[in-house]
């Protein structure tokens, strides 16, 4: 993570163009200081929403001020280390905000920016951050607000990024997770949903996934909300099952299948809503199995 930030920072030292940054992520907002002469730095921010917390639920990647190493103070957290923060020593984080998303209503799937109400198809805070970035960009290039509203109201994610499918009459949400933050974001969405559901976790350890799967211990499987069963699959199906068991989930409700096809078949023996988390190389094979079942039924 740090290597990536430093590389982008190095490039930005001589950059004078428009730069749009998430002010709620201390690892991102710091890039605004890479070139003090750039007058075109724009920060966006997402206001507190009903699931914001005053403590960090997961392992965060930005606890300390990158400029003076003081521990950052948070007014609230949205997810992981994303939230309203400031450095109590050097005031890092206290930037003028160009665009702010407010009145976030996950139930109605709406939020407001500059008194414009945006209705979207997703109920994830993570997606609202992405949309706020997109709206900030569109605003800088004078794209008509009504056009943005229309585009956002019909936009649906596919290809395994919070993708919604119906398989054998079963509502299914599938999301890619390559790291603890991504997985925790999916679990936050699952926990915000009061309905009964089942979780399917597919974990591979191929070369591009990283052969070290110790990151699964930073996933917050504690206190899952109304999860009736968990099915695991992938080359490391047993590792993820053990992680979940250690988190306190009833082991008699965990099923592991190293074989993906078998796992998907076992998963759809009932019509309880499914949340699916798959890591990098497991995502497309998982989707393929799901679609096979969808079009066969």
- In the complex, the residues that contact Zn ion under the rule CB under 5 A are 65, 67-68, 70, 87, 89-90, 92
**CB closer to Zn ion out of 89 and 145:** 89
For residues 180 and 29, give the distance between their C-alpha atoms in angstroms, rounded to a whole number. Answer: 21
Hunting for tokens 């009932």 — which residue is that? 270
**CB closer to Zn ion out of 86 and 134:** 86
Strand-pairing partners, residue 276, are 174, 200
The least CB distance from residue 32 to Zn ion, in Å, is 14
Q: Is 177 in contact with 201 (CB distance < 8 Å)?
A: no
**CB closer to Zn ion out of 26 and 182:** 26
The least CB distance from residue 62 to Zn ion, in Å, is 12
**CB closer to Zn ion out of 68 and 166:** 68
Alpha helix (H) residue ranges in the chain = 2-12, 26-29, 125-140, 145-154, 180-192, 237-246, 260-267, 280-296
The least CB distance from residue 34 to Zn ion, in Å, is 16
DSSP state of 178: S
**CB closer to Zn ion out of 6 and 166:** 6
The least CB distance from residue 73 to Zn ion, in Å, is 10
For residues 65 and 87, give the distance between their C-alpha atoms in angstroms, rounded to a whole number. Answer: 6
Q: Could you tell me the CA-to-CA distances from 208 to 136, 162, 175 in Å, in that order? A: 33, 21, 18
**CB closer to Zn ion out of 44 and 85:** 85
Burial of 157 (0-12, 13-18, 19+ CB in 10 A): middle
Q: Is 184 in contact with 79 (CB distance < 8 Å)?
A: yes
Q: Could you tell me the CA-to-CA distances from 249 to 43, 191, 227 in Å, in that order? A: 40, 14, 9
The least CB distance from residue 47 to Zn ion, in Å, is 23
The least CB distance from residue 271 to Zn ion, in Å, is 52
**CB closer to Zn ion out of 53 and 89:** 89
Strand-pairing partners, residue 277, are 175, 201
The least CB distance from residue 63 to Zn ion, in Å, is 12
């Amino acid at each position: 993570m740090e290597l990536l930030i430093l590389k982008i920072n190095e490039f930005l030292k001589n950059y004078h163009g428009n730069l749009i940054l998430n002010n709620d992520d201390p690892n991102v907002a710091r890039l605004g200081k890479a070139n003090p002469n750039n007058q075109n730095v724009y920060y966006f921010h997402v206001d507190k929403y009903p699931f914001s917390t005053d403590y960090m639920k997961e392992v965060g990647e930005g606890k300390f001020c990158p400029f003076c190493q003081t521990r950052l103070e948070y007014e609230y957290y949205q997810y992981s280390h994303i939230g309203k923060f400031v450095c109590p020593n050097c005031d890092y984080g206290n930037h003028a905000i160009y665009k702010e998303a407010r009145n976030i209503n996950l139930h109605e799937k709406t939020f407001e920016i500059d008194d414009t109400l945006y209705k979207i198809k997703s109920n994830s805070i993570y997606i609202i951050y992405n949309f706020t970035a997109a709206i900030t960009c569109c605003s800088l290039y004078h794209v008509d607000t009504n056009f943005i509203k229309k585009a956002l109201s019909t936009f649906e994610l596919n290809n395994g990024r919070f993708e919604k499918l119906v398989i054998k009459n079963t509502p299914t949400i599938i999301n890619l997770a390559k790291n603890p933050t991504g997985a925790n974001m999916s679990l936050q969405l699952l926990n915000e949903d009061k309905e009964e559901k089942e979780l399917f976790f597919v974990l591979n350890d191929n070369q591009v996934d990283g052969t070290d799967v110790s990151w699964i211990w930073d996933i917050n499987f504690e206190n899952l909300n109304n999860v009736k069963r968990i099915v695991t699959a992938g080359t490391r199906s047993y590792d993820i099952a053990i992680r979940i068991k250690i988190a306190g989930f009833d082991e008699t409700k965990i099923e592991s299948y190293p074989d993906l096809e078998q796992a998907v078949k076992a998963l759809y023996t009932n019509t309880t809503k499914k949340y699916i988390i798959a890591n990098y190389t497991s995502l497309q094979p998982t989707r393929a199995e799901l679609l096979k079942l969808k079009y066969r039924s």
